[in-house]
Structure 1
Amino acid sequence: MAQLTIIATRDAALAEPPRINSLRERVRQFTPNWFAATMGTGGLALALHQFPLAMPGLDALGRTLWMANIALFVLFAALYAARWVLFFDEARLIFRHPVMSMFLGTIPMGLATVINGFLAYGVPLWGDAAIGIARNLWWLDVGLSVACGALVPFLMFTRQDHSLEKMTAIWLLPIVAAEVAATSGGLLAPHLGPAEGYGVLILSYVLWAYSVPLAMSILVLLLLRLYLHKLPPRAMAASGWLALGPIGTGALGLLVLGGNAPALFAAHGLGEVGQMAFGIGIIGGLMLWGYGAWWLLLALLKTAQYLREGLPFNLGWWAFTFPLAVYALATLALANATGFDFFTVVGACLVVALAAAWAIVATRTAIGAWRGDLFIAPCLAAVTEAQAARIAA
């Protein structure tokens, strides 16, 4: 990850986007890909909470990151809501844009990191109040995830222009949201009463199935696209890491759900089913982890290739963080479930790499946000180009 700093000097040679200074124009240009920053920041906060080595101040650092992530999510939600209120006709253009519409899935996934933080950091601070907040936010997250998982693909089928050659891993974003919500449900279930926790666990398994098989199908298409059409353009370089998202989250979801299944199923007379779910969680998690290892190695090789060519910074760089975070969390969950030290060592290394990547991407995002050159709505640019073409004709 440290190699990402190499491109800092190369970006100066590339054409710089216009800088936007006024708040009104920043609202007009605000797009949901900013929520990827909450996914990466929240993912790091949760990974620090699970870090296997005891280090002074580490938990406090993770808690601080989680609280900062809440502030980011609230800010981004306010900005995006303001865009829909003030620029409704322009905001709805996102439904026709074949790239930016995929990032609608980052909204529920960013919210999920906030929810999980309430369970990891909030419960020790506020007790049952934190659980109540997490419960209410989880149901909102489920609604958003289910909607993204169905409506965005429907827009792809009916209103957008897609082809295999133009495909990238961002197709995964609206699909993966449901399995992220499933993992959050697995974490929430043991904090609830037996009846409610059982219902949340059952629904979380359904959400897992709502997402993971379809995401695996998209990965098959993505592999075919890479074989036939080579690597995507440099602007989409970081999207190669997104393949780790559904794999890591899928493994983590099975482990979390399986870990809590025995007690909740046994309370309803299904103890054998709970034990089976526990075993499926470990075996399924191991198999998905191995599958993810291949995509991780491929992502590293692709990133090395892009670095040689020069890699321009954009908000897509947050794809270097959240997929790595969920894969690291799945690795550490496997370490806890199996007692195999290999996963402990690898998980710790992944968290360190995640922290380095986050530091680089967060710093460059903060600079770009201050300067105003990251506020670009591609759906508006597409309309402007189309208008210019009609005038020229």
Structure 2
Amino acid sequence: MQKPFYQLEQTRDVIRQFTPNWFTMTMGTGVVALILPEFPFAQALLWQVATGLWQFNIMVFSAFMMLYLLRWLIYPQEAKQIFSHPSMALFLGAIPMGLATIINGFLKFGIILYGDVAIQIAQLLWYIDVILAVVIAVIVPFFMFSKQDHQLHTMTAMWLLPIVACEVAATSGGLLLAHLAAGQQAVGILLSSYMLWGMSVLPAFGILTILMLRLALHQLPSKELAITGWLALGPIGTGALALLVLGAQAPHVLAFIQQEALGIFFQNAGIVASFILLGFGLWWFAIAVLTTLKHAATDLPFNLGWWGLTFPLGVFTLAILNLGHQLHINFIVDTGLAFATILMMLWVIVMSKTLHGIYQGNLFFSPCLKALLEREQG
């Protein structure tokens, strides 16, 4: 029986069992912090709460990074087994996505707290985030193709995780541009962000196509993986959000190179495309809800995968809110706030269950370590 966290024999137990799926906690918490100030009531209070939550998220992300780096330093042979594991390797994408919520927080909260230095920090972190996202988006699929064992009937929406990080970075690039002067650097960030979008959204839609085939041929995933259906909202919501924030900055950025008309086209095309993507997202949202309810009728065991309820829904919500604000259409904004309310309730549930699991110690478990031990014993 797993020992409670406070009874773990030594810190090395936590380090040895630490896996990157913990970073989904920072993804969900970060997106909640970014959405909280969008509610039209108690603005001052919600801003303070959101700022505190963002700062808390920075501490959690830093602690997780330290634990994961220590695992590579202390247990390198065990840590590298992640590249052979068909599911745990996918969660490497959660690292740059968790970092992106911190970057966006520096632009939203940090400027008020720390001044213009927050923009410089956000810009530096964005470059790091892009490098991480691109490397993971290439390396993890390569190991999927060359080293891991995958079957169609075991495939889930988790395949999206290493891919989506690039479009999340593209969104952060668009938010960063709002605080930079138009120039060659801004043009480079804008165009590279659109390329990041292409590196992510197009492969993600290929994965969604395979996922729909898998669901049709092999039915719904097991109850342990029921929540993975919500992950499909991630590339759809982030894809729409990235087009909206990049399109909003494109006219004045591209005016620097006498291409303002192209920027206006990007802006208008982003709005049209976001409507299409959000419509697709509503369909996936309905499928995810029905899948969850079907399993919840019997038993739905908690695991860290439940954080998949938060970040994908969060970016989907942000896209709706951004679209409503750009078009000044109240019912779209109200729809986004309704999704935001659902998100807040889900975050409270998932966070409370996570804290309880940390206290009990039963969430510290490395599947790739178990697979290694089984091979050694066999």
TM-score, normalization: structure 2? 0.97
Give distance in 2, aligned partners of 1:383 and 1:358.
Answer: 33
Compute the displacement of 1:56 (Å). Answer: 4.3
1:34 aligns with 2:15: no
Give distance in 1, aligned partners of 2:331 and 2:285.
Answer: 17
Pick from 376, 384, 387 the counterpart of residue 373 of structure 2.
Answer: 384
Give distance in 2, aligned partners of 1:341 and 1:234.
Answer: 38
1:233 matched to which residue of 2?
Answer: 222
Compute the displacement of 1:193 (Å). Answer: 2.6
2:69 matched to which residue of 1?
Answer: 81
Pick from 27, 52, 56 the counterpart of residue 64 of structure 1.
Answer: 52
Describe the superposition over 1:253-288 as per-residue Cα deviations: whole angstroms up to 9, x where unpaired. Answer: 000000111111112200110110110111011110
1:284 matched to which residue of 2?
Answer: 273
SS at 2:363's partner residue? Answer: coil
Give the 5 Å matches for 1:1-393: 19=4, 21=8, 22-53=10-41, 55-195=43-183, 196-388=185-377, 390=378
Compute the displacement of 1:54 (Å). Answer: 5.1
Amino acid at match of 1:257: L
Shifted more, 344-353 versus 240-249: the winner is 344-353
Describe the superposition over 1:128-159 as per-residue Cα deviations: whole angstroms up to 9, x where unpaired. Answer: 10000000000000000000111100000111
Give distance in 1, aligned partners of 2:343 and 2:336.
Answer: 10
Describe the superposition over 1:104-150 as per-residue Cα deviations: whole angstroms up to 9, x where unpaired. Answer: 00000000000000000001121210000000000000000000111
| 8 Å CA contact 1:189, 1:198 repeated in 2 | no
Compute the displacement of 1:384 (Å). Answer: 2.5
Give distance in 1, aligned partners of 2:155 and 2:234.
Answer: 17
Aligned CA distance change for structure 1 residues 278 and 227 (closer, same or farther; 3 Å): same
Query: Gapped runs of 5+ residues in structure 1?
Result: 1-15
SS at 2:154's partner residue? Answer: coil
What is the aligned residue count? 374
Shifted more, 331-340 versus 30-39: the winner is 331-340
SS at 1:313's partner residue? Answer: coil
Give distance in 2, aligned partners of 1:306 and 1:139.
Answer: 41
Compute the displacement of 1:343 (Å). Answer: 1.2
Amino acid at match of 1:66: W
| 8 Å CA contact 2:231, 2:308 repeated in 1 | yes
Describe the superposition over 1:13-63 as per-residue Cα deviations: whole angstroms up to 9, x where unpaired. Answer: xxx756561311110000000000000000101111333445440111111
Shifted more, 190-199 versus 223-232: the winner is 190-199
| 8 Å CA contact 1:172, 1:218 repeated in 2 | yes
Amino acid at match of 1:275: I
Give distance in 2, aligned partners of 1:76 and 1:387.
Answer: 28
Compute the displacement of 1:336 (Å). Answer: 0.7
Query: Gapped runs of 5+ residues in structure 2?
Result: none
Amino acid at match of 1:377: S
Amino acid at match of 1:82: L
Give distance in 1, aligned partners of 2:106 and 2:292.
Answer: 34
Aligned CA distance change for structure 1 residues 223 and 45 (closer, same or farther; 3 Å): same
Give distance in 2, aligned partners of 1:17 and 1:153.
Answer: 33
Describe the superposition over 1:295-316 as per-residue Cα deviations: whole angstroms up to 9, x where unpaired. Answer: 0011110010010120111100
SS at 2:143's partner residue? Answer: helix
Question: How high is the sequence identity, in percent, across the aligned residues?
Answer: 49
TM-score, normalization: structure 1? 0.93
Aligned alpha-carbon RMSD (Å): 1.2
Shifted more, 267-276 versus 164-173: the winner is 267-276
